[in-house]
Amino acid sequence: MVTIDEAFRHWVARTPDAVALHGDDGRLTYRELDAAATRLAGRLRHLGIRHQELVGVAAVPSPQFVVNILAVVRAGAAYVPFDLAYPDDRLAHMRRDSGIRVLIAGAGDALPAGLAGCRVIDPDRPDDDGTDRAPQRPVPAAPDDLAYAMYTSGSTGLPKAVLVEQRNVTAFCRAQDFAARGPGRTMLRSSSFSFDASVLEIWGVLLNGACLAFPSDHVLGAADLADAVKATSATGLWLSAGLFHQIVDEDPTALAPLHTVVTGGDVVSPARVRCALTANPGLTVAHVYGPTETTVIVCRQLLSDPEQLESPLPLGTPLPGVRFHIVDAAGRPLPPGETGEILIAGDTVSRGYHNRPELTARRYVPEPGTGRRAYRSGDLGRLRADGTVEFAGRADQQVKVRGYRIEPGEIEAALGEVPGVRACLVAARPAPPGDKRIVAYVVPDPRTPPTAPAIHRSLARRLPRHMLPAEYVALDALPIDANGKEDRRRLPEPQWGRGILAALDTATTPHTATPERI
């Protein structure tokens, strides 16, 4: 196992003049990126940054961010991305929880009040103090050293930090076979640098000798994407499931110049994948899965034939070095075909949560048979005899409605196959008089909007009566959070009895009203 710096230096020696980063301000070769990171790493050591200390880095979408995090790792520390657009309370919690003393940020970055108290290091301007201090002797890096701490949403309402080691990153980068790899390949940056997809975009590219390109503006739609791909000659791209669906709906030919589109993070629509592949012969869609705690992506399915798609799409097969187990509530392995929690083991399983020993002990458990660290994903799945993994929903999203335990993801999968349904989410909502009902949020295709009876008939062919939604709410688009994921917290409350389709609860009450067109 090698460190991040060792893997990067391999490409510096092999292709020093190949372009590593391509942005509005010009290009950096592997040699130039190496030199810039070396200078900043020296400054950090000069300032007394300790071995494996957490160092904050402003998550600004520019090549300088990559220089900064490479310098932090090279100095023997670990980086913590801070999105400066986050609310002050969240930033203040992250600052206190991580214990950072130093934040790397440019002179033009407006620092929120939540980061007050940090020493700010401007990578473009030498320090006025500390230069007479003897530089700290660099500690030889080891694969088990921390690489970064990535904050994710917590069940208590406060974000928690996942501690990822260098060996986790290099194992993932060695195993991944779907992002830009090798000279001549270019990955277009599209994700927030405070989101773990950035690990794919940065280290998955630079530790494989390719180039990371920065678009002039954030990719928000098909026209933006087409312009960015043309300007950067990109061959690969990561898109969250929600953004992938949106772009395919707008104009699937916007993906035409790309070799590979990587998508995941939420349930991916087979119909959208089929549309993308049909419109772009030669395109590969990498359907991926992986929690932050297991270093971005642990399972993938490479799709290139629109006629060979399953519905719903399986997660695919684990990456080399990753092992999946399907276990029951007691952690005992289940045979192929049975549904249980997905337990993930292998070289990409992270160290645990920062300052959360009890949560770490609950979620990071011994792997059956080996005793090595494994991660309880909280996702439900089934393992086929051929090793393919099927997703069966989230254990923590299961709801109980009128005595029935229901998985919303199963309803969403059926609803997504109804002609004229462009996108959908399903949730349980309180309903009068103190009951709970299933609500389907639907984004209809304006060209061919479905009727409520058509939706009902289609769902009734696939779902039992107790799983049929009681209410439908039409939306122009599903709410998306800052990381490009579908944001269920922003779904509106239905107007019971006055919505698009009221009282479609055929499990208890016959539906007699004339449904409206969605």
Q: What is the CATH number of the domain that holds 467?
A: 3.30.300.30
| 132 & 42 share domain | yes
Please give the Cα distance from 287 to 269 (Å, whole number).
10
Whole-angstrom distance, CA of residue 73 vs CA of residue 51? 10
pLDDT at 141: 85
- Three-state SS letters, 398-430: CEEECCEEECHHHHHHHHCCCCCEEEEEEEEEE
70 domain-assigned: yes
Q: What b/e string do you get for 479-513 counting C-beta neighbours within 10 Å, with b at 16 or more?
A: bbbebbbbeeeebeebebeebbbbbbbeeeeebee
Shared-domain flag, residues 15 and 152: yes
Instruction: Out of 340, 369, 394, pick the residue that ends a domain.
Output: 394
Residue 231 in domain: no
Q: What is the pTM of this model?
A: 0.81
Q: What is the pLDDT of residue 2?
A: 94
Taking the C-alpha atoms of residue 325 and residue 328, their distance in angstroms, rounded to an integer, is 10
What are 409's two structure tokens? 């993801």
Res 17: pLDDT = 97
Residue 497 lies inside a defined structural domain of this protein: no
59: DSSP letter: -
- Would residue 103 count as lying in a domain? yes
pLDDT at 303: 97
Contact 189, 215 (CB under 8 A): yes
Residue 233 inside a domain? The answer is no
> Would 194 be classed as within a structural domain?
no
- Domain CATH for 374: 2.30.38.10
Q: What is the pLDDT of residue 400?
A: 63
- Structural domain harbouring 457: 407-490
Name the nearest CA neighbour of 391 among 477, 484, 310: 310
471 and 332 share a domain? Answer: no
Q: In what order do the strands lie in the sheet with 317-318?
A: 26-29, 19-23, 211-213, 186-188, 236-240, 260-264, 284-289, 299-303, 317-318
Q: C-alpha angle 258/263/266, rounded to 5°?
A: 160
Q: How many Å apart are CA 311 and CA 273, to the nearest integer?
A: 11
Report yes or no on 412 lying in a domain.
yes
Q: Are residues 411 and 364 in the same domain?
A: no
Does the CA dihedral 58-70-237-299 come out positive or negative?
negative
Residue among 79, 40, 150 at smallest CA distance from 483: 150
What confidence score (pLDDT) does residue 291 get?
92
Count structural domains, the chain. Answer: 3
pLDDT of residue 460: 82
Same-domain status, 422 and 383? no
Q: What is the DSSP letter of 348?
A: T
> Same domain for 147 and 13?
yes
Give the model's pLDDT for residue 290. Answer: 94
The answer to whether the beta carbons of residues 352 and 163 sit under 8 Å apart is yes
Does 325 share its domain with 459?
Answer: no
Domain stops at, among 173, 198, 232: 173
10-residue mean pLDDT series, the chain (518 residues): 95 97 90 96 92 95 95 96 88 94 88 90 72 55 95 70 97 93 92 91 97 83 88 92 87 93 88 95 96 95 94 92 94 93 97 96 95 94 91 74 71 87 88 76 90 83 82 88 76 71 33 32
- Please report how the helices 197-206 and 63-74 are oriented relative to each other, as an axis angle in degrees rounded to 10: 80
Q: Are residues 15 and 143 in the same domain?
A: yes
* Contact call for residues 55 and 72 (beta carbons, < 8 A): yes
Q: Which of 146, 173, 200 is the last residue of a domain?
A: 173
pLDDT of residue 510: 31
Q: Do residues 30 and 169 both lie within one domain?
A: yes
Three-state DSSP state, 218 = coil
Q: Which amino acid type is present at position 40?
A: L
Backbone angles phi, psi at 147, to 5 degrees: -105, -45
Same domain, 422 and 454: yes
CB 420 within 8 A of CB 449: yes
- Structure confidence at residue 286 (pLDDT): 97
CA angle centred on 268, ends 237 and 198, rounded to 5°: 35
Instruction: Kindly state whether residues 5 and 41 are assigned to the same domain.
Output: yes
Which residue in 218, 265, 213, 269 sits closest to 236, CA to CA?
213
The answer to whether residue 510 sits within a structural domain is no
Pair (484, 354) in one structural domain:
no
Q: Which pLDDT value is given to residue 132?
A: 42
